Chains A and B, each alone.
Chain A
């Protein structure tokens, strides 16, 4: 029997980016907020010291900041005809764990999605005709618009101190920015980061080919900054330890470096770490959440009653909690009915690697960061005519040297021996003179890709694991071939003597790391029959429940998701503060 605790106004599940933003906004509103975090407490001073952060073995290989599969994992299969098996080691994606979530070890690339993204089905139907969209492609509109999202993108960018250059200021196109972006009310809070040689060469080459390169919008700060909450951040030093690492220099935006110092001073905020939520509790009618039940590290179960429940866990866990709590109707792939678990998508990772003459080119690849460098957006989304191409989508193309940590950085050309003197020589010959250009591409939802509870495997508490059924749809594989070919062309023009193009091919594998940009499953929309939450991230079925995060994306754009995740958190907070608290109940009537 769980021990019942004193009621609180709000319980937030998961204290990552979304949870920290929601908790801060709602405590500002005067509400008592309790956050429950499955993993450990983490702060820069104690846990991300420069004395041990750049440890590739600990963080890059052994994934110290990532969820431990023994605590929780997922089962995986490529299609519904297979039996899913549990991931016993995280490869393809790296779920965050602990305070700050995956936002501690993210790379820091911070996009806004494009205006067309938010009305993707409508947009493609208008341009190419509804019939052009394949029957199994379940893409849909978000139920919101870029215009509605814009103020929240702005809030997130200023909170995080994003470094970048505007491409569209209030409708006026700006030289040197992304001309495809939606209109923004003001420029980024900080100027772009400095460039190393590789991205500069990429940008010059792309420009000479007619592309319009611009600096990657980055959560690594180009100068010291004090954010609107009064939290100070430092200037990025290009140490090259961002992706899979926490930042020791207070230079990479995370909940730790932007929100938590303020949140932790508030008397009306509490966080309980190492506390895993078992389920969201509902009243008898099933239409009101009464709180949550969680288990602490001693195995003691607690019931935390609350007036508002906000689910801000990793997106897979958001969906799983809904399914475990019996909220919403689970998606049934056979009939296409049901909403929870529907439209699970990913990101389609492509790249072209160039090997250059080491007497003429030196990229100093160890000088880098998860979000430094230059990008072009001509190959993204619907920024080019898909009419004759037979696929939809595309990706943001960028030359972003993330650093070159010593264990995994082995830029050796095909044909190199896998060990021994030849392998060593190839490493030496190419370490300084190889560079990649990536194309982080869209993943359009498909009827065959979904999430549900695994019928066989359970976690340590006996609860079914989340089952991922995913493979790259034919549409996305064709898109990969196309964009990677274009990227390889740029790398050739940069002067590479050998090019290895790596479009996504074949089946999805959980082994090589691709990205942690898994999305969907509890998607937002205008219609409760095809979505789980409304445009305020409020559950259709349970008005005092909000589900915030990438779980709300109906499909994935050719952009990294965190900027949109942060904006959605501010959007939900604003809706709660200015609409829900004034009139508790469903914010969208159907």
Chain B
């Protein structure tokens, strides 16, 4: 079966399922409205509310999608890759014609939290309204109060570039039925205020699960996949659960704070899509909020998977891997795999290194990677691309060695896996 044919079949299936679900939805008696509990409406002229909105807009990383590189803030225009095609984030400046200046607060809240556009159309979940549904309505309107203060920019954005078959937004009805959990955030009465604050930020504005939770075929969250890692844009986004091997269970709380704030800590330096998140969002959060996030994440239960045993050091792959490691990697990552603070990622006991899915590791070794600098950790070091120096077999061997040394344990990497990643990167022009 050719790949194009397979994609066609999948798309057709998606359309059918979604359409069926949509019909079902339409037949249901009355739609369940999001419960809008009574809340104190922010005052759009209050400094405190505008300032809170600014902070929350950063926590939600609105600019990541709604501000184009070199464009005016929040004037839209960044195409977002989805598995089904490109979606472009609209202009959310107060411009009355092309932005949201003419919207009512309620229209704004419905778009952010229910995925319903002003004209009643349903939004694509590239806008993370399933996560933002967890945000308190007064926080949403504080963001609105802030957005009302930014410079209005006239910029008309054509928001979808999806294939024709997926352009019918009514399909989103079905998607919502299957994937949209509308329950608002409910604090855990047994957990501390701090931990609940962390959960609120992670599940709501932080929308961490958008990347860190694996998706089903329709792009909805997989059951049992909550923050356990996912494949995204040619990277394996690691688990951020409390798993001591593949998650961040071994990172002390302050190291998690450093990572989110500075983009670097004693364990690693941020790279890939997460570098943008740190640069645009988490580096600006308060230490108290970052600590709350750290506390919550460390308590997220690991996936129920058996821990693998490390390969024996006399395994042939381990032996050749060790020789390659000493020759090519140890100058920076050091002989015992400890790396250097804020510079060279530590490999020993590293969650990214031990992830069950080796996509990111393979990618970083063959194509290299550059970390993003922040004011607190400006170095922005780079991993050089090794594809010109190491064969697929050598990449597999050295990764197998790294994944099974210094207390690490993870499945061996095969040359075929390396080959697959290489072909994906080549196809992407990388």
Contacts and interface: CB of A to CB of B under 8 A. Distances in A.
A232 B379 contact: yes
B168 interface: no
A51 B331 contact: no
Contact of A230 (B340, B344, B370, B377): B377
Given A232-B342, A261-B379, 20 more contacts: A44-B381, A45-B370, A45-B380, A49-B382, A49-B384, A49-B385, A51-B385, A51-B389, A224-B340, A224-B343, A230-B379, A231-B379, A232-B264, A234-B332, A234-B343, A250-B379, A261-B378, A261-B380, A262-B378, A264-B373
B300 to A, nearest CB: 30
Interface in A12-69: 44-46, 49-51
Given A45-B382, A226-B341, A261-B380, A237 B331 contact: yes
B384 A232 contact: no
B332 A249 contact: yes
Contacts of A428: none
A160 B117 CA distance: 55
Contacts of B384: 49-51, 248
A389 interface: no
21 contacts: A44-B382, A45-B370, A49-B382, A49-B384, A50-B331, A50-B384, A51-B384, A51-B385, A51-B388, A51-B389, A224-B341, A230-B375, A230-B378, A231-B379, A232-B341, A232-B377, A233-B343, A234-B340, A248-B384, A250-B381, A261-B380
Interface string A239-259: 100000000111000000000
A209 interface: no
A262 B373 CA distance: 8
B389 A250 contact: no
B386 interface: yes
B16 interface: no
Contacts of B389: 51
Contacts of B217: none
A235 interface: yes
Interface string A51-90: 1000000000000000000000000000000000000000
A235 B342 CA distance: 13
A430 B247 CA distance: 54
A51 B377 CA distance: 25
B342 to A, nearest CB: 4
Q: Please provide the 9 A-B residue pairs with the shortest distance between their CB atoms, ordered closest to farther.
A: A45-B382, A232-B342, A224-B340, A232-B343, A261-B378, A49-B384, A237-B331, A232-B379, A262-B378
B376 interface: yes
Nearest to B343: A232
A246 to B, nearest CB: 13
Contacts of A44: 381-382
Contact of A51 (B332, B378, B386): B386
Contacts of B385: 49, 51
A249 B381 CA distance: 10
Contacts of B331: 50, 237, 239, 249
A265 interface: yes
A239 B327 CA distance: 12
A158 B378 CA distance: 17
A229 interface: yes
Interface string B252-296: 000000000000100000000000000000000000000000000
A231 B382 contact: no
A370 B9 CA distance: 62
Nearest to B341: A224
Interface of A: 44-46, 49-51, 224, 226, 229-235, 237, 239, 248-250, 261-262, 264-265
Nearest to B328: A50
Interface size class of B (residues with CB under 8 A): 20 to 34
B386 A234 contact: no
Contacts of B373: 261, 264-265
**Chain A interface mostly:** loop
Nearest to A235: B340
A264 to B, nearest CB: 8
A231 B343 CA distance: 9
Contacts of B370: 45
A44 B264 CA distance: 18
A248 B379 CA distance: 14
A230 B283 CA distance: 15
A248 B332 CA distance: 10
Contacts of A49: 382, 384-385
A233 B379 CA distance: 8
Contacts of A261: 373, 378-380
Nearest to B269: A232
Contacts of B381: 44-45, 232, 250
A250 B383 CA distance: 12
Nearest to A224: B340
B383 to A, nearest CB: 9
A262 B374 CA distance: 9
Contacts of A231: 378-379
A51 B331 CA distance: 13
Contacts of A249: 331-332
A467 to B, nearest CB: 42
Interface in B292-347: 331-332, 340-344
A24 to B, nearest CB: 11
B343 A265 contact: no
A357 to B, nearest CB: 31
A257 to B, nearest CB: 8
A235 B386 CA distance: 21
B419 to A, nearest CB: 21
A64 to B, nearest CB: 17
Contacts of A232: 264, 340-343, 377, 379, 381
A229 B378 contact: yes
A369 to B, nearest CB: 13
Contacts of B332: 50, 234, 249
Question: Which of B331, B379, B384, B388 has most chain A Cβ within 10 Å?
Answer: B379
Nearest to B380: A261
Contacts of A239: 331
Contacts of B388: 51
A224 B332 CA distance: 10
Contacts of B344: 234
A269 B380 CA distance: 18
A49 B264 CA distance: 21
Nearest to B331: A237
A66 B357 CA distance: 45
B376 A230 contact: yes
Nearest to A231: B379
A153 B331 CA distance: 30
Question: Which of B331, B373, B386, B388 has most chain A Cβ within 10 Å?
Answer: B331
Contacts of A234: 332, 340, 343-344
Contacts of B377: 230, 232
Contacts of B376: 230
A264 B375 CA distance: 11
B278 to A, nearest CB: 13
Contacts of A51: 384-386, 388-389
Contacts of B382: 44-46, 49
B70 to A, nearest CB: 14
B15 to A, nearest CB: 44
Nearest to B389: A51
B283 to A, nearest CB: 11
Interface in B363-399: 370, 373, 375-382, 384-386, 388-389
